Every structure is written in structure tokens, then in C-alpha cells.
Chain A
Amino acid sequence: MDALLHQVFAGLASGGIYASLALALVMIHNATNHINFAQGEMAMFSTYIAWSLINIGVPYWAAFVATIVISFFAAAAIERILIRPVEKAPVLTVVSVFIGLLLILNSVAGWIYTYTIKSFTSPFPSEPPFGNKFVSSHELGAIAIALFVLVAMYLFFRVTPLGLAMRAAAENPASSRLVGIRVGWMLALGWGFAGAIGAIAGMMIAPLVYLDPNMMAGIMLYAFAGALLGGIDNPWGAVIGGFLMGVLENVVGALIGTELKLTVALVLIIIVLLLRPNGLWGHKVVSRV
């Protein structure tokens, strides 16, 4: 029982990782209707920026904020320069651009920072809270920050005029333009916010799995699965999906065996998606023809 409880906590900790990256996916999906395959690599690159800043002596939280700001502008710039020209192109073209971006960011990071793993500072105390052995302070802190980002994002899309304008621009660009929304800039903003959320995710993930150019490869897979399971257009769904993924894979691994843990988790997701194609908490897409 103790061991199972331990597995559940470890699952929640990795679920927090998946959830925070899944949030960035939801952000970009809600703002642009795209799924960005390069999201993980963008987050990885942001984390390297933070690492460089910390290494030259910038205090952690200053580096944290600076990285978020830099990532925001860098991601918006990527949208303007790379995604803009293929805006009207078929989906496959856009996917190719995303994959190209993924490869470029991965190689450039390797070229600049080498592939040797680096440890990344955690802002949280190194001793586990309340003397427990199940969950470290950093894991708890990362979960708290993921939840904080979730609430902020929810409120942003729900109650701010800018959030509403962004959702409108993604869902119906033509009508949005007619009511005076600058659709192009809304898309760039969406990318910027996704880049910033990704940066936070990266800085929370790196202390757990170590920083290297390939750090996001596996995590993206789970984040995708989590986001799709919960509903890619619903931040709450994506976060719950991420946590579910984390717990599911650990418990399945503990009960059935680690060799099947990813398989079983993915099979469950396929079953869910067959029954509910928009995810557990996703909205049905209805379009008038």
C-alpha cells in the first residue's frame, strides 16, 4: 500500500510536468487553432536562456521573469517570421514548418550548449516538506505553479477583452476582422503567451529531468496525450488529462509491469477518444455549413 501510494505521488509529480506543457499546447491551440509540435523544443530553448542567465550570476527569480519576457517576444517573432507566410497554406505545410522548427531549435541548442546534461537550479528548498518521503519540495512547487498558470489562463480567456478577442480571432478570423480585431496580432500574441507558458514549464521540468537538448522529446508525447485526453481546447481538461497520464502510467507500471506502461496508457486514451472524440472535457466543434 505504501509503495502504491508512493507511485501515485510520483505520478502526480510527473503529471504536473505534463500538465504544464499541455497548457502551452492549449494556449496555442485556442489562439491559432494549430497544434505546435515545436512547443517542447521552444520550452527547452527558453530553459537554456534561463540557465545562461543564472550562470552569469543573475538571481533566480530575476532570470525567471527575464526568461518569460524573452520567450514571449521570441515566440511572437517566430509567428511573425515563420508561421505568417504559411498562414493560408494547407495543414500539412504548417505541420512541416512546425517539425522543421523543432529540428532547428534542437540542433541549435546542441550546437550552442552541447548535449551534456546540465543540472538546473530549483527555486524551492532541497529538503522535502513536512519530512515526507513521497514528494519533494520542487515537485510540489511545480504542481502549484502549473495550477497557478492554469487559473491565470482560464481567467484571461474568460474575463479579459483581449482573451475574448484572441478566441474570436482563432475561431472565426473573417468575422473578427469585421468587428475590428487585428487578427494577425492576435495570433502573434497567442504564440507569445504560449512561448511564455512553455518557458515556465521548462524551468519547472529541468530540475527534475536535467537540462539537455532532448529533454522534451519524451515529455511532449505525454503532454500531447494528456491534452488530447482532457480536451485540447480546455485548459482545465488538459491539466487534469496531464495528471491522469502521470498517475495512470505509474500505477499501470507498478501493477502490470513497466514494459507495458506507455502502451496501456495510450490504449486507454484511444478508447476514450473513440467514445469522446473531443476529449473528456473538450467542447464539441460545431460548424455551420
Chain B
Amino acid sequence: MNLHHLKRAIMALFALLALTPSAHAEKKYDPGASDTEIKIGQTMPYSGPASSYGTIGKAEAAYFKMINELGGVNGRKINLISLDDGYTPPKAVEQVRRLVEQDQVLFLWQNLGTPTNSAFHKYVNSKKIPHLFLATGATKWGDPKNFPWTMGGQPTYQAEATIYAKHLLKTKPDAKIAVLYQNDDYGKDYVKGLKDGLKDKAQSMIVAEQGYETAEPSVDSQVIKLQSSGADTFFIFAIPKFAAQTIRKTYDIGWKPVVYVNNVSSAVANVLQPAGLEKSVGLLTAQYFKDSHDPQWANSTDVKQYLDFMKKHHPDGDPKDSNNAYGFMQANLLVHVLKACGDNLTRENILKQATSLKNLELPMLLPGIKINTSADDYFIIEQLQMARFDGKEWRLFGELLDY
């Protein structure tokens, strides 16, 4: 081929490019995205000890099915591939590798569990796959310097405990504190947050700490031990089953401290009803989203939307189960991010959009809570409000607290 021919060929090529519609040139895709589909991967504990959370994945899949029926996001259908990891790290690694290498998903989203996500944390970051809005409250998911592709999806446990500490210092600065915590990352994050919040008073204020293992049938023994420490303030950092046992036992043995229970274990249907509503009066917690069957929200549009969604699209799920409301909110957030991505569905742009949310309000979040993220702030929800249980429902009080 001589130079003349080459010149001609190049000109022909340019002519061809000029003919193609200009919109086409703006579309950018990474694996998992196309004109018709956005492929997302997720692992959930559909079996095993944490399977009560599995309903989150089901609610999210139902939400996307609804969105797809309405035409999808910017004309593309959302294809959520949600696999079971049984809450075991090795299985989670295997499933995530499958999602990334075989199914070629565009990104991972809402993977549930601290131990499971920890197992493939490095892998997805080395592959540069967005690993967004994880369903766990560990603090390590907000570390943009070392793990720029990973982003948590809820207020951190540490931050929540810090807010309790602040509240306690304000209302009862001379409290004697007893702490019950789950003996793993989950429970220890809370204890750390509490100590950070109490600062130099932590040493003198905390008079007793007791851990428990999830394999234990009951925590009665720990509660008795904590009572004998003479504490007048009690922090429960547990999962629902053990929180319910603790609230009941505390009442039954005639111990009457001020009790703080962590947000995860504050649902009326899951925890307080089994523990006994009369035994739960006066409990304190911090909240960030609405309890769908709380009468004070009965007339708000988002709660109505949620209940309507549950009835029409996820009839197998229990609308009272706060996990479903959580899934509804998270799916909403993701649709917002994907809309913002427009036709630029590269992994880089998805991360960029997820980290540039400004004053976003989401259905089911408490009024006033706004989502803000940036390239060096990966924590999506940073506001909580204290609430007290009055025997029927949680009553919010005070202002939204930042940390």
C-alpha cells in the first residue's frame, strides 16, 4: 500500500465516522453495560445464620423488576445477579469471582456482611470494580485512600455508638456503664465508638463489659454478671435475638438501668415484641430511617409508596420487617446514581457519581437526613436522631445529630 492509498483510506474512515450519529459516540461502556442492560452483582446470606437479612436482596430485586417494567433506567434494564454466600467468607469470595470473571458484572452493590465483604475487599479493589453501598456498618468501608473502589451503605456502628456517648455525657455525666457486645468485629466496632465518644472518661465510666458468642443459646449469664457490677446505664450491642433476650432478662431480674440498644436491634416487630413491649419501655436508640408501621408516618408519601410496593411487588416479604424498607431505600439510591451516570456507564463514572451525591433525600429516611458524599468522604449517611420507646412506638426526640 503506498502513501496515496493510505491517505484515501484514512479519509474514508473519517467520512464513515462522520456519518454515525453523534449520540452514539458519547456512549461509553465497561463490561456489564450495554444499550439494553446494566448488569450488577451481589452476594447475600440467603441461607445460614444471617439468613434473616436475605429479604433485603429479595426486596431489591423486586424493586428493579418494577423499575424495569416501567422502562428501566435511561432505557436500560437493570439485571441484578444476587447469589447466596451463606454468610461464609470463602463462599463469598467464590461467588464474587464468578460475578466478576464469568458473569462480567459492571459493579458490585449491597453485598451484605462484614466478614464476607472483608474476604474480597482487596480483590475487587485490585480489579478496580466499584463495590458500592455495602450492607454493613463497619468503619473500614470508608477508606478512599487505600480502598478507593469500596463504599459503605449505612451509618457506621462506631459513629452510632459515638452519638450514644455524646447523649449520655449530656444527660448523665456521672453514669456507671455496663456493656454487652457481640464478640466479633460488629460488636467491637460499637465498643470502640462508645469509648471514643466518652474520651478520657471511658476508663472511669465503664464499670463492666461482657462479650457473647453467637453460638451461645442465651446471654442470661452475662446479664446477671453485668447487673452485679452495680452499673446504672446499660449498652446492648447485639443482634436481634440476643438483644430481645437481654431486654427481657434485665427486666425479669429487677435491674432498672438506663438502656441503650443499637439501631440494628431496635425494630419493634423483631426485637421489642418478642422481648415484651412492657419490658421495653424507656429504651433508647438512634434512628435514621422510618419504621413503616409507626402511626406517626402513616400519612407520609414515601411510607405509602413503600407499603404499596411491598403489596404489589414483594408480597412474600413482611412490610413490618425493617430489612425490606432498607432494601427499598438502597434500591432507590442506586437508581438515582445510575440515572446520574447517563450514557457513560464506565466503572470510573459510576464511582464518580456515587461519590458526588449532594443533599440527596431518599424515601424512608427520617425527614432532614441528606446524603452527601465526595471523593474523600465515603460515608453516605452521617446523621442520626435519638429515640425513646414509649411502650407502643419509638418517639424521636432532640435534633438530628452529626458525628
A20 to chain B: closest CB distance in Å? Answer: 12
Q: Considering only CB atoms, which chain B residue lies closest to A13 in the complex?
A: B220
A3 close to B (CB within 8 Å): yes
Query: Quick one: given A209-B217, A221-B215, are A115 and B54 in contact (CB under 8 Å)?
Result: yes
Q: Is the CB of B240 within 8 A of A117?
A: yes
A262's partner among B216, B240, B270, B271 (CB-CB below 8 A) is B216
A17's partner among B213, B217, B241 (CB-CB below 8 A) is B217
B244 close to A (CB within 8 Å): yes
Q: Mark A1-41, 1 if CB is under 8 A from B, else 0.
A: 01100110011011001000000000000000000000000
A288 close to B (CB within 8 Å): no
Contacts of A217 in B (CB 8 A): 49, 215
A84 to chain B: closest CB distance in Å? Answer: 28
Classify chain B's interface size: 35 or more
B34 close to A (CB within 8 Å): no
A71 close to B (CB within 8 Å): no
Q: Is the CB of B241 within 8 A of A212?
A: yes
Q: Is the CB of A14 within 8 A of B220?
A: yes
Considering only CB atoms and an 8 Å cut-off, how many residues of chain A contact the other chain?
40
Q: Is the CB of B49 within 8 A of A119?
A: no
Q: Is the CB of B52 within 8 A of A115?
A: yes
B228's partner among A3, A110, A133 (CB-CB below 8 A) is A3
Determine chain B's interface SS by DSSP, over half rule.
Answer: helix
Q: Considering only CB atoms, which chain A residue lies closest to B253 in the complex?
A: A133
Q: Mark B232-248, 1 if CB is under 8 A from A, else 0.
A: 00000000110011000
- The residue in A117, A133, A250, A259 that gathers the most chain B C-beta atoms within 10 A of its C-beta is A117
Q: Mark B211-235, 1 if CB is under 8 A from A, else 0.
A: 1111111101110110110000000
Q: Which of A216-233 contact B (CB under 8 A)?
A: 217-219, 221-222
Q: Is the CB of A14 within 8 A of B211?
A: no
Q: Considering only CB atoms, which chain B residue lies closest to A17 in the complex?
A: B217
In the complex, A144→B55 CA distance in Å?
A: 39
Q: Considering only CB atoms, which chain A residue lies closest to B254 in the complex?
A: A133
Q: Is the CB of A258 within 8 A of B211?
A: yes
A176 close to B (CB within 8 Å): no
Contacts of B218 in A (CB 8 A): 14, 208-209
B30 close to A (CB within 8 Å): no
Q: Considering only CB atoms, which chain A residue lies closest to B54 in the complex?
A: A115
In the complex, A7→B218 CA distance in Å?
A: 13
In the complex, A136→B269 CA distance in Å?
A: 24
B85 to chain A: closest CB distance in Å? Answer: 15
B52's partner among A11, A13, A114, A261 (CB-CB below 8 A) is A114
Q: Is the CB of B224 within 8 A of A118?
A: no
Determine chain A's interface SS by DSSP, over half rule.
Answer: helix
Q: Is the CB of B274 within 8 A of A118?
A: yes
B126 close to A (CB within 8 Å): no
A62 close to B (CB within 8 Å): no
A128 close to B (CB within 8 Å): yes
Q: Mark A99-131, 1 if CB is under 8 A from B, else 0.
A: 000000001001000111111000000001000
Q: Is the CB of B240 within 8 A of A107?
A: no
Q: Considering only CB atoms, which chain A residue lies closest to B49 in the complex?
A: A214
- The residue in A7, A114, A221 that gathers the most chain B C-beta atoms within 10 A of its C-beta is A114
B88 close to A (CB within 8 Å): no
Q: Is the CB of B217 within 8 A of A116?
A: no
Q: Considering only CB atoms, which chain A residue lies closest to B317 in the complex?
A: A114
Q: Is the CB of B225 within 8 A of A116?
A: no
Q: Is the CB of A209 within 8 A of B253?
A: no
A249 close to B (CB within 8 Å): yes
B212's partner among A136, A254, A258 (CB-CB below 8 A) is A258
Q: Is the CB of B52 within 8 A of A6?
A: no
In the complex, A275→B172 CA distance in Å?
A: 55
B273 close to A (CB within 8 Å): yes
Query: Quick one: given A3-B224, A249-B221, A250-B221, are A116 and B321 in contact (CB under 8 Å)?
Result: yes
Q: Which of B60-95 contact A (CB under 8 A)?
A: none
In the complex, A212→B218 CA distance in Å?
A: 13
A253 close to B (CB within 8 Å): yes
Q: Is the CB of A117 within 8 A of B274?
A: yes
Query: Quick one: given A209-B245, A210-B274, A221-B215, are A116 and B269 in contact (CB under 8 Å)?
Result: yes
B211's partner among A10, A212, A259 (CB-CB below 8 A) is A259
A184 to chain B: closest CB distance in Å? Answer: 34
In the complex, A221→B49 CA distance in Å?
A: 15
Contacts of B217 in A (CB 8 A): 14, 17, 205, 208-209, 218-219, 222
Q: Is the CB of A6 within 8 A of B274?
A: no
Query: Quick one: given A258-B211, A259-B183, are A210 and B241 in contact (CB under 8 Å)?
Result: yes
In the complex, A115→B245 CA distance in Å?
A: 16
In the complex, A136→B248 CA distance in Å?
A: 12
Q: Considering only CB atoms, which chain A residue lies closest to B221 in the complex?
A: A250
Q: Mark A259-275, 1 if CB is under 8 A from B, else 0.
A: 10110000000000000
Contacts of B252 in A (CB 8 A): 128, 133, 136
Beyond A205-B217, A209-B217, A254-B225, 15 additional contacts (C-beta under 8 Å) are A3-B227, A3-B228, A6-B253, A7-B224, A7-B225, A10-B221, A107-B47, A117-B244, A133-B252, A133-B254, A210-B274, A212-B241, A218-B214, A219-B217, A258-B221
A–B pairs, 12, beta carbons within 8 Å: A2-B228, A3-B227, A7-B225, A17-B217, A110-B51, A114-B318, A116-B269, A117-B241, A119-B273, A210-B241, A217-B215, A262-B215
Q: Which A positions have Cβ atoms within 8 angstroms of B? A: 2-3, 6-7, 10-11, 13-14, 17, 107, 110, 114-119, 128, 133, 136, 205, 208-210, 212-214, 217-219, 221-222, 249-250, 253-254, 258-259, 261-262
